[in-house]
Amino acid sequence: MTQAPAATAPATLFDKLWQAHEITRRADGASLLWVDRHLVHEGSHHAFAKLAARGAPVAEPQLTYAVVDHYAPTRGRDAIPAGDIRRMIETLGQNAHRHGLRLFGLRDPDQGIVHVVGPEQGLTLPGFTVNCGDSHTSTHGAFGALAFGIGATEVAHVLATQTIWQMRPKTMRITVVGQLGPAVGAKDLALHWIARLGADGARGHAIEYAGPAVRALSMEGRMTLCNLSIEGGARLGMVAPDDTTFAYLKGRPFAPAGADWARAVALWARLPSDDGAQFDREVEIDASDIAPTVTWGTSPEEALPITGHVPNPAQLPPARAARASEALDYMGLSAGQALQGVAVDQVFIGSCTNGRIEDLRLAAKVLQGRRAKVPGLVAPGSALVKAQAEAEGLDRIFTQAGLDWVEAGCSMCVGMNGDLVAPGKRCASSTNRNFKGRQGRGARTHLMSPAMVAAAAITGTLCDVRPLLEGRV
């Protein structure tokens, strides 16, 4: 590691990114930040309406990209019936056309979930600020970018000015020492730390993930980890860029090329936190402590190793007992019940958390030559992921196992496109939120890795994927 110049205090990755984007700071402490990438989707209709009400143009159409994902049908795209879904998709298309934005529409070979498309197109780059009206924008932090979700008022502000007012968050480093075990991945790591610190455990903080277990993750794994930062309450999550990052980005359509590539890599290599840089908060996690992890309740913090038992409210302090009872009741589980063996009705593999090629490869490894006992949906994160998976024959593994292989989009993670879990049904899901009603009114969601979802499909129950992957990885 190079030392920071003597005159400058050692800086964190976050400090460097914040400073590089701060245009000005008000006396009250709010900073005006430049936005390098602004991603919009169908849900941005409120912000476009605000812009229209002012008669304002989009300040930087070249830095603004529109993606159809939340409402994207995963089947029957050629004949979408009239109604809300079609209207939402058409409205985004009209707004993109009106303002001259690049649109990744339903028929685009590069369409997909905004947080999958951005990285795979090379739109997301180290050293950038990335905003999107979606909380899982934290995903893009995997590249060493300052990436955070914003609300509609802020989306309208970014559209109109290409800047955003922010109060500086505190910094927090989560150092993951040791090595993740076989069949234990970024999803398990994320659910593990959220269960330990709480769903509001990192509130008000910008997280940097560090340590050997994080360094060893692929870009897909880093994206999963950063994606779930918001589920632990963090404002954003980041991993410092390294050779893994550069190798992923080289040659991507929107990544710098030629002389700019070398110049960019030289700049990016200076982004990692300096030795001795101070964080407001430090947390250490031992990767070897982590088992495949599953949520049992209705908040991502309500997660346990698959070998565990759900809480018994009678043994909890009163303040926690009421909450646990309510969550168990909603989830249809009994006090103290073992997680292994809980029967599931269906499975879902996909989402901005776990809809990338590596996720599908691992799930396919579990499913190869086996049959699912319950129905399920596999929705790739993008059309490119879908094409890649089909080139590798993964689609046939899923369909031969009895699962449905469909088009790319947010799908059953949030159900806006009509892919819903019926009331009272239990779904093993590779998604990010087990909130009440998230996958449909009354739906019961268990979050887990795509490999664990595949294992649940085969046995029809929550179960440990490790024996099923023995000899396969």
Partner 1 sequence: MSAGWTHHSGTAVALDLESVDTDQLIPARFMSVPRVQGYGPYLLHDLRYDGAGQKLPDFVLNRHEGASILVARRNFGSGSSREAAVYALVDFGMRVVVAPSFGDIFSANAVNNGLLPLALPEADVDQILAMLVAQPAEARVDLQAGNLRICGRDYAFQLPQVWREKLMNGWDDIDLTTARAPQIAAYKTARRASTPWVWPS
* Contacts to partner 1 from residues 324-363, by CB under 8 A: 326
Q: How far is the CB of 370 from partner 1 (least distance, A)?
A: 33
Number of C-beta neighbours around residue 61 at 10 A = 16
Q: How far is the CB of 399 from partner 1 (least distance, A)?
A: 28
Please list the residues that pair with 129 across neighbouring strands: 146
Instruction: Compute the distance between CA of residue 217 and CA of residue 103 in angstroms, rounded to an integer.
Output: 31
Using CB under 8 A, which of 88, 228, 239, 364 touches partner 1? 88
Segment 165 to 194, residues that bind partner 1, using CB under 8 A: 165, 167, 169
Using CB under 8 A, which of 77, 80, 87, 472 touches partner 1? 87
> Would you count residue 235 as binding partner 1 (CB under 8 A)?
yes
Instruction: Compute the distance between CA of residue 433 and CA of residue 443 in angstroms, rounded to an integer.
Output: 12
> Would you count residue 298 as binding partner 1 (CB under 8 A)?
yes
Using CB under 8 A, which of 145, 210, 240, 255 touches partner 1? 255
Nearest residue (CB) to partner 1, 63 versus 389: 63
Instruction: Compute the distance between CA of residue 73 and CA of residue 408 in angstroms, rounded to an integer.
Output: 8
Q: How far is the CB of 247 from partner 1 (least distance, A)?
A: 17
Q: What angle do CA 418, 420, 426 make, to 5 degrees?
A: 175
Tell me the number of residues near partner 1 by CB under 8 A.
Answer: 73
* DSSP string for 228-297: GGGGGT-SEEEE---HHHHHHHTT-TTS--THHHHHHHHHHTT-SPPTT---SEEEEEEGGG---EEE-S
Instruction: Compute the distance between CA of residue 439 and CA of residue 441 in angstroms, rounded to an integer.
Output: 7
Task: Name the token pair of 113.
Answer: 């979930």
Using CB under 8 A, which of 170, 196, 309, 323 touches partner 1? 323
Contact 426, 343 (CB under 8 A): yes
> Would you count residue 46 as binding partner 1 (CB under 8 A)?
yes
Binding mask 375-414 for partner 1 (x = CB under 8 A): ---------------------------------------x
> Would you count residue 68 as binding partner 1 (CB under 8 A)?
no
Q: Which stretch binds partner 1 (CB under 8 A): 111-119, 162-170, 309-317, 352-360?
A: 162-170
Task: Name the token pair of 267.
Answer: 């700049």
> Would you count residue 43 as binding partner 1 (CB under 8 A)?
yes
Q: For residue 12, which of 241, 203, 171, 204 has the smallest C-alpha distance? A: 171
> Would you count residue 161 as binding partner 1 (CB under 8 A)?
yes
Contact 212, 235 (CB under 8 A): no
Strand order in the sheet with 22-25: 22-25, 30-34, 163-167
Q: Which stretch binds partner 1 (CB under 8 A): 198-206, 278-286, 343-351, 379-387?
A: 198-206
CA atoms within 13 A on the CB side of 29: 3
Nearest residue (CB) to partner 1, 10 versus 442: 442
> Would you count residue 373 as binding partner 1 (CB under 8 A)?
no
Q: How far is the CB of 151 from partner 1 (least distance, A)?
A: 4
Task: Output phi, psi for 260, to 5 deg.
Answer: -65, -35
Q: How far is the CB of 80 from partner 1 (least distance, A)?
A: 14
Q: How far is the CB of 270 from partner 1 (least distance, A)?
A: 12
Segment 19 to 38, residues that bind partner 1, using CB under 8 A: 23-24, 26, 28-30, 32, 34, 36
Contact 310, 335 (CB under 8 A): yes
Most distant pair of Cα atoms in the chain: their distance: 65
> Would you count residue 438 as binding partner 1 (CB under 8 A)?
yes
> Would you count residue 321 as binding partner 1 (CB under 8 A)?
no
Nearest residue (CB) to partner 1, 309 versus 323: 323
How much is the CA Rg of the chain, to the nearest whole Å? 22
